Amino acid sequence: MQRKSISPRQRLWLSSVRFDSSIGHVFYNERLFRWVRVNPAGKALLMAFSGGAIPREVLLRVGEGTQQSVSDMEKPALDFIKLMVSRGILSVEAPEKQAPLTIPDRLEASLRDIYLNVTDLCNLNCSYCYDRYDRRVRRTVGKRRLSVPQWKDALAQTKQIGATRAIFTGGEPLLFPNLKELATCAKQLGFKIHLLTNGTLLGSADVSGLCELFDRIQVGLDPGPDGPPEPAAQGIIALFKAGKHGLSMDPVLTRQTIDYYPRYREWANELLPGVPIRPTIYVPNSASPADIAMLPSRHQVQSHILKAHSDDDVHPTALPGGDVPMPRYHCGAGVSTLCIAFDGSVYPCQSLQRDDYLAGNILEQRITDIWENSEVFSMLRGLTVAAIEGCSSCSLRLVCGGGCRASALNTQGDIRAQNRPLCDLLLRDLAIEQIAASATETVN
């Protein structure tokens, strides 16, 4: 980026907010959605422009506390200042004269991901599952199941309206007898295909051939006092040794398991070098004391997650989307994602499989009709971060997009509510760490 010509006597204003991360100081311009990570000297120089200042005067003040003369400091400091202006961190305009940030009050749908819950069967009963057994049984008892031709037609329909990634989940998708046939069909249609599995069946000889079809296999292999449980550990190790690419470890961390995470990472780095670990903080299924009690403490999160976030092998996924490539106005449910259940029911995402968020059924309507005309999807597309009380005034709102709406619904009873307690516990700190980590270098 070309650096603008700035006079040492031209008044400049700090047009960004500062956050302090574990790996540096971040200055973030929400209006332009740009940020930089700077060292302590850069922080001191930028903060001198709060309220407006002239570069030459700033250098005189900063120089008083150092052994350097202003003439020695002037060129590198002015180069730094010009760079900050070019990136929008400093501005030649006073804040009141800058164009206000505009957040859309409604989003255009652009389907990207389809979650295919090919079965409601699972060989585990995890208390933290987003579709845990007690809720799944109430919703699925007596329901019919899609045939293989109907699943294939669903894949073709979603491809026609723009979907690019098919994510096979459940239940446990490896219990679905026709998984290989459906995965092959999705591949032939041009989808990137992912498998979300608990990993316990990966050691099967039949499964190893099937896994070669998938572009990514995300294994929910959780930590325990003696390391990851068998046989899931041996299954992923076998795939790794066979040269399978696209593996990732996606543990869910609760108050009971997060303290085992450091040992888990040691185990993974030793036996699965290079396989990314993407820990997710448990999302409560309800506001009940038992569910809320499973949330890790802030101290646990700080010690075991945020401290490790700058490591190359750790990519937390508590924020939708992981990295921060563009402004986020929404979590994505019903805007860029949809979920098709084993009986043809269509929901905004895999975590909103609830009767009151049922958008339609592919046995009764074309997917295009559901996607374009569902009242559920229409409501969600009008629920941008600007409409969420508590988020609308947050300076990090475009980084997290308001967080997971299913989490807000579960814990607050309102899909329009702020995403507490996850916001207080993790999301704000993680948003800061993510934008700090996404800055490829520290500007000195």
Distance CA 117, CA 130 (A): 12
The predicted pLDDT at position 142 comes to: 63
Percent of the chain with pLDDT strictly greater than 90: 44
pLDDT greater than 80 at residue 135: no
Query: 134 falls in which pLDDT band (50, 70, 90)?
Result: low
Q: Are strands 337-340 and 252-253 parallel, antiparallel or unpaired?
A: unpaired
pLDDT at 110 over 60: yes
Do the Cβ atoms of 357 and 343 come closer than 8 Å? no
Whole-angstrom CA distances from 230 to 129, 186, 318 are 19, 31, 26
**What per-residue confidence (pLDDT) applies to 70?**
59
Q: Tell me the average pLDDT of the chain.
A: 85
* CA–CA distance, 314 with 183 (Å, rounded to integer): 28
Instruction: Tell me what pLDDT residue 307 has.
Output: 66
pLDDT at 207 over 70: yes
**Among all chains, which residue has been given the structure tokens 């960004």?**
16
Identify the band that residue 325 occupies on the pLDDT scale cut at 50, 70 and 90. low
149 has a pLDDT exceeding 80: yes
For residue 330, give both structure tokens: 């929404």
pTM of the model: 0.87
| Model pLDDT, residue 172 | 93
- What whole-number distance in Å separates Cα of residue 215 and Cα of residue 442? 33
Spatial separation of the C-alpha atoms in residues 34 and 132, rounded to whole Å: 39
Structure tokens of 294?
């499973």
**Rounded distance, CA 75 to CA 6, Å?**
12
Range name among 72-76, 349-353, 370-374, 379-383 with the lowest pLDDT average: 72-76
Query: DSSP letters along 272-286, please?
Result: STT--B--EEPPPSS
Burial of 326 (0-12, 13-18, 19+ CB in 10 A): exposed
pLDDT, position 137: 56
Q: Which of the two residues, 151 and 396, has the higher pLDDT score?
A: 151
Residue 444 banded pLDDT, cuts 50, 70, 90: low
The answer to whether residue 154 scores a pLDDT higher than 50 is yes
For 401-441, how does the pLDDT look when each residue is reduced to its tens digit (9 = 90+)?
A: 888 899 899 888 999 999 877 787 777 887 888 788 777 65
Residue 323 binned pLDDT confidence (cut-offs 50, 70, 90): very low
Distance CA 13, CA 5 (A): 16
Task: Tokens 């294994």: give the residue.
Answer: 219
Residue 224 scores a pLDDT above 50: yes
* pLDDT above 80 for 66: no
Strands 192-197 and 165-169: parallel
- Residue 307 identity: K
The residue with greater pLDDT, 308 or 260, is 260
